[in-house]
Amino acid sequence: MTPLILASTSVYRRELLARLRLDFDVARPETDETPQPGEAPAALAWRLAEAKAAAVAAQRPGAWVIGSDQVAEFDGRPIGKPGGRDQAIAQLSAMSGREVRFCTGVCVLRDGEAGLSELDVTVVRFRELALAEIERYVDAERPFDCAGSFKSEGLGIALFEAIESRDPTALVGLPLIATARLLRRAGYALP
């Protein structure tokens, strides 16, 4: 079978892709993730997923490469990873009682061929959160490397009122339903 490479250093994406029980390698994509002027969060996620896959595919001829990126959108603007405690508390405080959209793009390509791409949009509705709840959560889970300042696969699920999604894995960073569909189209044998 053709080699498969995940163009990501994210431990979350690696763990998700492993659930499909395919052999794969991991490579760091060297891509500029700066949004273009006026670029919508969904367009940014799509573009970066394709750019990451293309960057690694250029270095690994013949391999199928999976690129993925997620952009959180709050009040029409992209929000990033908090990076630290104070920023995480500020993000969660702002999102209390509100909705956040998570746009997750995935692209599978080989040797500069036209990529197979999809975009998943997940909407998270936060319940009203007291500052003490937010601080307890941030101190317990330290979600500093997660867009939106939470880990839905962990304790962060307790922050929500509801999640609307076609694919629950998309919120973690790699939409496995779409990824499996794209890999089947690329010739991989999956159930």
Catalytic residues: 69
Under the phi-then-psi rule, with left for phi > 0, alpha for psi from -120 to 50, and beta for the rest, what region is 89? alpha
Q: What is the DSSP string of 5-16?
A: EEE---HHHHHH
Helix segments in 27-108, DSSP class H: 41-57, 85-95
Q: How many other CB atoms sit within 10 Å of the CB of residue 109? A: 24
| Structure-token match 């709050």, residue found | 74
Give the amino acid at 140: A
Cβ-proximal residues to 125 (8 Å cutoff; 6+ apart), any chain: 98, 99, 160, 161, 162, 163, 164
- The tokens for 21 are 């029980």
- Enumerate the β-bridge partners of residue 108: 66, 116
